[in-house]
Structure 1
Amino acid sequence: MEYGIERATALSLVHEHLQQPNMIKHCLASEAVMRALARQLHEDEEQWGLAGLLHDLDAEATADNLSIHTHQTVRILEERGVDPAIIDAIAMHNAEAHNTQRRTTFHHALAAGETITGLITATALVYPDKKLASVKPKSVTKRIKEKAFAAGANRDIIRECELIGIPLPDFCALCLGAMQEISEDLGL
Structure 2
Amino acid sequence: METEEAKEFIKQNVGNKKIILHMLAVAAIMRELAEYFGEDAEKWELTGLLHDIDYEKTKENPERHGLEAENILKNKVPPEIIQAIKAHNFEYTGIKPETRMEKALIAADA
Q: TM-score, normalised by structure 2?
A: 0.92
Partner of 2:4: 8
- The CA distance in 2 between the partners of 1:51 and 1:79, in whole Å, is 14
Cα distance change, pair 46–64 in 1 and its aligned pair in 2 (3 A):
farther
Mean Cα deviation higher: 94-103 or 31-40: 94-103
- Runs of 5+ in structure 2 lacking a partner? none
C-alpha RMSD of matched pairs (Å): 1.3
- The CA distance in 2 between the partners of 1:12 and 1:70, in whole Å, is 20
For residue 71 of structure 1, report the CA deviation from its aligned partner.
Answer: 1.6
Partner of 1:134: none
- The CA distance in 1 between the partners of 2:106 and 2:68, in whole Å, is 18
In the TM superposition, 1:81-100 aligns within 5 A as 82-100=77-95
Mean Cα deviation higher: 104-113 or 61-70: 61-70
Partner of 1:50: 46
1:104 aligns with 2:77: no
- The CA deviation string for residues 120-172 of structure 1, in whole angstroms up to 9 with x for no partner, is xxxxxxxxxxxxxxxxxxxxxxxxxxxxxxxxxxxxxxxxxxxxxxxxxxxxx
- The CA distance in 2 between the partners of 1:77 and 1:29, in whole Å, is 20
- The CA distance in 2 between the partners of 1:89 and 1:100, in whole Å, is 9
54, 72, 79: which one pairs with 1:76?
A: 72
Partner of 2:57: 61
Total equivalences in the alignment: 110
In the TM superposition, 1:100-139 aligns within 5 A as 100-115=95-110
- The CA distance in 2 between the partners of 1:100 and 1:47, in whole Å, is 20
Letter in 1 for 2:9: L
Letter in 2 for 1:87: I
Contact 2:86 2:95 in 1 (8 A): no
- The CA distance in 1 between the partners of 2:79 and 2:50, in whole Å, is 13
Report percent identity of matched pairs: 37
- The CA distance in 1 between the partners of 2:25 and 2:59, in whole Å, is 20
Cα distance change, pair 64–106 in 1 and its aligned pair in 2 (3 A):
farther
